[in-house]
Structure 1
């Protein structure tokens, strides 16, 4: 007898982002869904469904909406909204400042380590903890240098400058 385990990846969302996405989900499940059902009903009342473009368009819209609802429900089910510790350690929910090794440019690069859905709530780059740089830097502190293999197979060396709480 084999045991199957389901692997679900937790994603980090700011509490405000979670609340906004939850409200969007309720709108999709309520008013948006009701509007499409009404459109399907009205088109069905027109008669012959084989050549009824309005009916087919409404059914396609219903399918897209149901898919979006399922995806959003899955995202919210796996979302983590707790604020990480303010300890300078790279973790989901923090803005990471870093520099590439050998980069003589004085300007640091930054990204938010969180679910890609946070892109709507943050102006800069957002990388997930599963991204190569996210995986590599997770758990490291400001002042540390980290080497990892990038998507192209090249070894990349970065210096962690800071890991600050996301304020959003």
Structure 2
């Protein structure tokens, strides 16, 4: 069986640990109490409060299992301190070469980036910038077909 690696920055790992603790210490007890209260409302087959609490419990447990898997297979990536080549954890500034001259800055992360301040290496942009240097030109096909090929120049790596 192939070992799974989930590449995370230290900040992402710490956020997962914090969320896991919150689920164990706060969310699970809260939902358990809601289920106990709802059981007191009578017939469970027609008890909307009970079914809502059980559904919330199921969603929370699915989130918890995902976090457990991510923590189990986490590979914490730290950039080397060298700002010559883009690595995970770097703050990257790029300039659009698509005629609008817009500049964008984001942190390159291992997964689950928000697409604005954080970009996931599995995304088209993340994969395109990984390993690039200042003044390198990158291009990739936009998700929106009408935008075509997007081109950017790496302006700064921090």
TM-score range relative to shorter protein? 0.7 to 0.9
Counterpart position of 2:131:
139
Corresponding residue to 1:42 among 37, 44, 47:
37
Q: What number of residue pairs does the alignment pair up? A: 155
Counterpart position of 2:150:
156
Deviation at 1:47, TM superposition (A): 3.1
Counterpart position of 1:27:
22
Question: CA–CA distance in 1 between the matches of 2:77 and 2:3?
Answer: 21
Question: CA–CA distance in 1 between the matches of 2:138 and 2:100?
Answer: 17
TM-score (norm 2): 0.79
CA RMSD of aligned residues (A): 2.7
Question: CA–CA distance in 2 between the matches of 1:159 and 1:60?
Answer: 47
Long gaps (5+) in structure 2: none
Kept in 1: contact 2:121–2:130 (CA 8 A): yes
Corresponding residue to 1:61 among 51, 56, 65:
56
Question: CA–CA distance in 1 between the matches of 2:108 and 2:71?
Answer: 17
Question: CA–CA distance in 2 between the matches of 1:80 and 1:103?
Answer: 39
Question: CA–CA distance in 2 between the matches of 1:74 and 1:161?
Answer: 36
Runs of 4 or more, structure 1, over 6 Å off, are: none
Long gaps (5+) in structure 1: none
